[in-house]
Structure 1
Amino acid sequence: MRTRNLLALAGAVVALALPAVAPASAADVPVLTTGGAGGTPVAAGDVLTASLASGTTATFYSSAGGTSGVSCTSSQFTATVTDNPTAPGTATESLTAHTFDQASCTSNVLGVLGVTGITVDQLPYATTVTSAGEVTVTPSAGSAVQTTVKLRTLLGTVTCVYRAAGLSGVAGNADNSIAFTDQHFTKASGSSLCFANGYFTATYAPVTDAGAPVHVN
Structure 2
Amino acid sequence: MRTRSLLALAGTVTALTVAAAVPASADGSAVLTTGGVGGTAVAVGDTLTAPLAGGTTATLYSSATGTSGVSCTSSQFTATVTGNPAAPGAASESVTGHSFDPSSCTSNVVGVLGVSSITVDNLPYTASVASDGTLTVSPAAGSTVQTTVKLRTLLGSVTCVYRAPSLTGKAGNADNSISFTSQQFTKVSGSSLCFANGYFTAKYAPVTDGGAPVFVN
Answer whether TM exceeds 0.5 for this pair. Answer: yes
Taking the aligned partners of 2:60 and 2:26, their CA distance within structure 1 comes to 39
Match of 1:32? 32
| 2:204 alignment partner AA | Y
Please state whether the residue corresponding to 1:103 is helix, strand or coil: helix
The CA distance in 1 between the partners of 2:26 and 2:73, in whole Å, is: 38
Separation of aligned partners in 2, 1:61 and 1:26: 38
2:26 and 2:37 in contact (8 A); partners too = no
Which runs of 5 or more structure 1 residues have no equivalent in the other structure? 1-24
Structure number with higher helix proportion? 1
Alignment of 1:100-119 (within 5 A): 100-119=100-119
- Report the AA paired with residue 119 of structure 2: T
User: For residues 40-189 of structure 1, what are the structure 2 equivalents within 5 Å?
Assistant: 40-189=40-189
Deviations 1:136-186 (A, max 9, x none): 000011211000000101221100000000000000000000000000000
Deviation at 1:203, TM superposition (A): 0.3
TM-score by length of 1: 0.88
Structure number with greater CO (CA < 8 Å, separation at least 6) is 2
Distance 1:157 1:136 in 2: 33
Letter in 2 for 1:168: T
Name the count of aligned residue pairs: 193
Unaligned runs of 5+ in 2: 1-24
CA distance in 2, matches of 1:195, 1:109: 10
**Taking structure 2 as the reference length, what is the TM-score of the superposition?**
0.88
Letter in 2 for 1:114: G
RMSD: 1.0
Q: CA deviation at 1:26?
A: 4.0
Query: d(CA) in 2 for partners of 1:116 and 1:28?
Result: 48
d(CA) in 1 for partners of 2:208, 2:66: 30
- Cα distance in structure 2, aligned partners of 1:69 and 1:155: 17
- Aligned mates of 1:166, 1:89 — CA distance in 2: 20
Question: Structure 1 CA distance, aligned partners of 2:51 and 2:87?
Answer: 26
Alpha-carbon distance in structure 2 between the residues aligned to 1:185 and 1:213: 30
Change (3 A) 1:26 1:178: closer
- Taking only the aligned residue pairs, the percentage that are identical comes to 76
Residue in structure 1 matched with residue 16 of structure 2 by the alignment:
none
